[in-house]
Structure 1
């Protein structure tokens, strides 16, 4: 411990640094909760822990209240993208949750510094090192949502399902809508990224398609 800095101040400095390390990666990837948010989450958890300890509060209640509070923050980070139907922000919400736990480790101090340090290294590994591996996995099995609008005939939708299969893609038909002589079909399509690109190129040049979203 550095003797000329009060322990509580040192804890806050360590907490801010920890939050910054986690938040930098989220900020770099333009996520909704980035550098400042993670610093504030870590600082808040540390500060609440310090105050509660000085007031003689039950440690289990400290943890429970902080977890409840961070749940509200996480709820604001996670949302559904209306255009694609995908749920986004889960990783950022999980990072905020871990950051709050790291702040608590710093706040409790002796005995949990080592635990917090190891946990931070593991969090950094998950956020930084595993990104290329995750990218490779996604390229091998990318999921896209396609919407095609074209003139209606009995075999229209099956025609495009066969087309997806031709490009080595697994297409699961979702919502279908018919309006006058037009039909709209939505597919959740899974397969390698390069196969998606070939299919998109083909569909963009299809003269029978009136609208195409992907």
Structure 2
């Protein structure tokens, strides 16, 4: 059939196939990047496009060296294989630890890595695999995050630091944290403010049954007479 003949032609390294691979790399990287950009992530549309384009080009360089320049003994995937490990440095830059139980940027880092693999597939002419993985990745970041959020709300927990006025209030503070917020892993520590007489309390807030944000819990605790201040623990 003519379709398969055209597909085989596009798998070869020629001007038409290069243009198609570059276009698809821009499209795939751009769509994934737009979704990340909407979430306010540092790695947005331009970053994902450049990653996908760069990965595709490294593969095409390998095939160009073997088929056009005549380096028959060279492995066309040798250079592009380093993309998989090298892209990790870019992914690490998107990960931020905001608290003991809160890490952001993991999905964006995974998107950058996946975008690179899509670029590698496009650069090698493996259009079917690239398009299928792109569709799966795009659906994952656009649709499944809603399901993940609903499931995650039931398991959310974070650290909280509470500073109280006197060690005489330790029992009262611990009892309040346990009964009101389901706190666990409570530890009495030195006061972060350095104020003599104050006592610090570190606690893990298990926010399974209510979705009260850390800022609101801090304000509720600070309304207590014996609490100096309360913040999400970092």
- TM-score, length of structure 1 as denominator length: 0.86
Quote the RMSD (CA, aligned, Å): 2.5
In the alignment, structure 1 residue 12 sits paired with structure 2 residue 13: no
Which whole-Å deviations, capped at 9, do the CAs of 1:11-44 have from their partners, x for residues lacking one?
A: 1011000001111111000011111101110011
Q: Give the count of matched residue pairs.
A: 209
Which of the pair has more CA radius of gyration?
A: 2
Report the counterpart of residue 116 of structure 2 in structure 1.
100
Q: Residues 166 and 195 of structure 1: is their aligned pair in 2 closer, same or farther, counting only changes over 3 Å?
A: farther
TM-score, normalised with respect to structure 2: 0.79
Instruction: Tell me if structure 2 keeps the 8 A contact 1:204–1:212.
Output: yes
Does 2:143 match 1:129?
yes
Cα displacement string for residues 112-151 of structure 1 (whole angstroms, at most 9, x for unaligned residues): 2111111111111221111111111222121122111111
Moved more, 72-81 or 96-105: 72-81
Q: What CA distance in whole angstroms lies between the structure 2 residues aligned with 1:50 and 1:79? A: 34
Work out the CA distance in 2 between the residues paired with 1:47 and 1:59: 11
2-side partners of 1:193 and 1:32: how far apart? 32
1:210 — aligned with what? 228
1:183-202 matches, within 5 Å, as 183-192=199-208, 194=210, 196=212, 199-200=217-218, 202=220
Q: Would the alpha carbon gap of residues 107 and 164 (structure 1) be closer, same or farther in structure 2, given more than 3 Å must change?
A: same
Q: Structure 2: how far apart are the matches of 1:175 and 1:23?
A: 44
SS in 2 for 1:66: helix
Q: Which residue of 1 aligns with 2:173?
A: 160
Q: Which residue of 2 aligns with 1:151?
A: 165
The reply to whether residue 69 of structure 1 matches residue 82 of structure 2 is no
> Where does structure 2 lack aligned partners over 5 or more consecutive residues?
1-5, 67-73
Query: What displacement does 1:102 show?
Result: 0.3
Cα distance in 2 for partners of 1:107, 1:29 equals 28
Aligned-residue offset at 1:171 = 2.4
Question: Does the CA contact (< 8 Å) of 2:96 and 2:103 recur in 1?
Answer: yes
Distance 1:48 1:76 in 2: 22
State yes or no: 1:141 paired with 2:128: no
**2:45 corresponding residue in structure 1:** 35
Cα pair distance change 1:182/1:135, threshold 3 Å: same
